[in-house]
Amino acid sequence: MARKQKKKSQLNNDLFYDVITTSIGNIGIVWYIHKKNHPKFKRIFLPAQRSSQAKRIKNIFPSAKRAASKKIFNEIYCLKKLCDGETAYLPRKYFDVNNFTIFEKRILDILCKIPHGKVLTYSELAHKAATSSGARAVGNVLAKNPFPIIFPCHRIICSDGSIGGFQEGTELKRKLLKREGVLFDNKEKLILKTVHKG
């Protein structure tokens, strides 16, 4: 996603990270404490086979310090519930989206409105986002989503019912959708009655 220069108010915030165990694997989280004394997340890393989460985080955020903070206990609990296919709510104020473009924010807003157990197609998402660039443009935003699962890009599928891409592979995407109750046929395509019409 496009990033602008950081605001001065954020430059002195220490970055922290941790690796948490969930039912889908180890997830990396990076956060800082906002001036209003609540956590702000910078990034969520889905489970990956190619390297350890700590190494991935340090490669991107070399100044981040590993710390288990009581301030994010509730956020971690909610994230684990989402990985289990359950519902949980985390306010958007906990996620640092200040440097996102208007279009990127619009996509994230739409993602959050897709109900648990429902999906949208890439073309429907593009229509709702009122972009003339079509499904390819929204696909590019989803591929760079820094907060997967929280902003549920796994709920976006292809128009023919095939699952489409995902940051860490289609098997993880399929697992998340099945845990949320999304139905697949015997060819592993989604049954389109689960498409969200709202």
Indicate the SS3 state at residue 161: coil
Residue with tokens 């702000």: 40
Is there a contact between 27 and 46 (Cβ–Cβ < 8 Å)? yes
Q: Token pair of 50, please?
A: 């190619």
- Rg from Cα positions in the chain: 17
List the catalytic residue out of 78, 83, 112, 153.
153
DSSP 10-35: HHTPPPEEEEEEETTEEEEEEEEE-T
Q: Is 153 a catalytic residue?
A: yes
As a whole number of angstroms, the distance between CA 106 and CA 108 comes to: 5
Catalytic annotation, residues: 153
